[in-house]
Structure 1
């Protein structure tokens, strides 16, 4: 039923719960998994931060790589074929473009993420993906 499952993550508890759901579905369907974390650098551009990163953009990309690696490691430990990516751009649009590029059959994501003010029901990125995508989206509430 599913050949390619896309798992957007931002490292939040909701994304981690959705990743577990996605990995279970991938096992059940012998599907490939693509884990993506969009580096939403927005207006920070070349802003310099304290620490080792050359810029805010570098720090954001490094954190994104850590998030996708965590999920990828869990998938690979289950024997799944996992591909990771850290594209830049507006998160909702970038997730949908990536889903199209890899011919995803399903996107599994959390209800909310690490953003600032959250929407009451769905996070703004999840809402965008659900409303504007043309691929099935499973929204994991992250509750037991």
Structure 2
């Protein structure tokens, strides 16, 4: 039923739980997995990073690659065909464009991620993907007690 599954990650506990669900689904369907983390290097990117803009962007890219590598390793350990990618830009737009370009059949993501000021101002990435994407989205509901 699903041949290509997109797993967006931001390294949060909720994203890691969603990735585990996605890996299980991919195993059942023998699907190819695409793990993506978007380094939001724009003006409203991760506001928690100190230092100049160039070093902050480098740090965001490095963290994004670490998040991708962690999920890719788990998918490979499950015997899946997997690709890991770090993108830059607004996560909601980059994820939809990537999903369209690759021909994703399913997106598996969490209801909550890192959040912060930008999420309060702009809304949830998951909400955007569900509302504006034309692909099925499996939303792994985060446990309210751990939020």
Same fold (TM over 0.5): yes
**Distance apart, 1:55 and its partner CA:** 1.2
Structure 2 unpaired stretches of 5+: none
The answer to whether residue 33 in structure 2 is matched with residue 33 in structure 1 is: yes
The separation in 1 between residues aligned to 2:2 and 2:86, in whole angstroms, is 23
The answer to whether residue 14 in structure 2 is matched with residue 14 in structure 1 is: yes
- 1:33-89 superposed Cα distances (whole Å, 9 cap, x missing partner): 0000001011279x9738xxx611100000000001000000000110110110111
The answer to whether residue 87 in structure 2 is matched with residue 49 in structure 1 is: no
The two structures have a TM-score, normalised by structure 1, of 0.88
Structure 1 unpaired stretches of 5+: none
Q: Number of paired residues? A: 138
**Distance apart, 1:16 and its partner CA:** 0.5
Secondary structure of 2:104's counterpart equals coil
Do the aligned partners of residues 48 and 16 (structure 1) sit closer, same or farther apart at CA in structure 2, a change above 3 Å counting? closer
Secondary structure of 2:79's counterpart equals coil
**Distance apart, 1:2 and its partner CA:** 0.3
Secondary structure of 2:88's counterpart equals coil
Q: CA RMSD of the aligned region, Å?
A: 2.3
What is the match of residue 116 of structure 1?
116
The answer to whether residue 89 in structure 2 is matched with residue 92 in structure 1 is: no
- 1:94-115 superposed Cα distances (whole Å, 9 cap, x missing partner): 1000000110000000001101
